Every structure is written in structure tokens, then in C-alpha cells.
Amino acid sequence: MNRRRALIGLAAVAALALLAVLVPLGLRHVPFFRVRRVELVGVRYLAPDQVIGALGLAPDANLFDPLGPAEERVRSLAGVESVQIDRRLPGTLRVTVVELAPAALVSGPHGMIALDCDARPLPYEPANTALDLPIVQRADSVLARTLCIVRASDSSFYRRVDVAQHVQGGVLLDVGRQRVLLPDVPTSEDIRAVMAVRRQLAATGRAFRELDARFEGWVVARGRQS
């Protein structure tokens, strides 16, 4: 009896698995499930036409066509960290994209270019997406990574950085009329130390023009020039 029940159970599982394969194959030929709409979720920096074009949908694309190839094509776009495509009956594909956040802007032959945390160019159009990012003199991985560490440690401070550049023994950040000197690729502790000193100086009403955190365990505050 137990063996018979086990065989029946296995047969039921096999039947369901077969249906899971055959039903989508059959529905792929039903015009009612033709793809009529594409929803984009999470697309902020990329041009929507870039993502839709990367899907590579045929004019007669069906909701039950395999999604893997389309996902791979979108994932191959520069600036895409991950993508997931879901079906919404009767004819909508929802494409959820996670983009790489740009870290800095650098001047290019045809305008400003957005860079990721490894200083790789991103296919974002700064003018169209109103990117307000620190500017670097060249596509430099040390500067880009430093800015990403600053952003991860204190996003509000990162948003106030205007320019990042190399100086002897570290990286210089221009923050309005003030400057912050950091070691090459600082740690989160370095950033927190700088922020603690900034808060302390502000609380005591002491003006400064420069904070230098290139010395291990120390942040040196330099006053304004007369």
C-alpha cells in the first residue's frame, strides 16, 4: 500500500512538472498573451529606450517566451547591477533594474561623464538626469573609491563635496569654502573622525578652513587665513 501511494505521488509530481513545461509552451502561441506593455522599475539614470532596446523583444513577443535571454541582455548594459523580469497578465512585462550609483563626474570630449566607484564610465547623461556629483580631474580609481567610501560613511557630507583631487600623501576634497584632506582610500573610521571634529568645531563656534586626516589617529584643524 505504501509503495503504491509513493508511486501515485511520484506520478502526480511528474504530471505537474510536465504541465509546468507544456502549459507555457502552449500559451506562447495564444495572441491574447502578446506583450503589449513594458513597465520599467528602478530606472533613474539609464535612458528608458536603452533598457527597452536591450530586451530585444520581437514584434510578436509573447508573455510566456523565456525571460532568461532578455534578462541577460539587460544585465549586460553598462550601469546595470542586477535585473529581474516578471510577467503581469495578460500582456505586461515588468522590468526591475538596480543601477550602479554614479560616484563622480569627469570632463569628456563631449561633456561631463559619470563614473562608478572604480572610475569606469557609465552611460548616463548628466544633463538629462540632473546629476549633482563631485568633480574629478580625470578618471582615477583612487578618487572614485574615496568618494564612494565617503558616501557610504556620511551621505550628507558627500553631497557637499564639490571637487576631489590628488595631493601629496592623500586626497583633497573641496567642500564649499573648506577643505578636507584624507589618506588615499580612507576608512570609514577616518570619515567619522573628520565628521566628529567638524561637529565639535561647529558646536564651539570655531572657524576653520581645513581638516587634515592624513595622520593616523589624528585630525588636524587649520584656521582661516586672514
CA atoms of 179 and 222, how far apart (whole Å): 10
Position 204, amino acid: T
CATH of domain 104-222: 3.40.50
Residue 104: closest CA among 45, 170, 181, 163: 163
Sequence-distant (≥ 6) Cβ neighbours of residue 184 within 8 angstroms: 142, 146, 169, 170, 171
At CB < 8 A and 24+ separation, what contacts does 37-41 make?
Answer: 37/91, 37/92, 37/93, 38/92, 38/93, 38/94, 38/95, 39/88, 39/92, 39/93, 39/94, 39/95, 40/95, 40/97, 41/94, 41/95, 41/96, 41/97
User: What's the confidence (pLDDT) of residue 45?
Assistant: 94
If residue 164 lies in a helix (H) or strand (E), which one and from where to where? strand 163-167
CATH of domain 2-99: 3.10.20.310
111-161 pLDDT, tens digit per residue, is: 899 999 999 999 998 888 888 999 999 999 999 999 999 999 999 999 999
pLDDT along the chain (226 residues), means of 10: 53 39 48 87 94 94 93 96 95 96 94 95 88 94 96 94 94 94 92 92 90 90 70
Extents of the domains making up the chain: 2-99, 104-222
Residues 71, 54 contacting (CB under 8 angstroms): no
User: What's the confidence (pLDDT) of residue 20?
Assistant: 39
Indicate the pTM of the whole model: 0.78
CA atoms of 174 and 147, how far apart (whole Å): 12
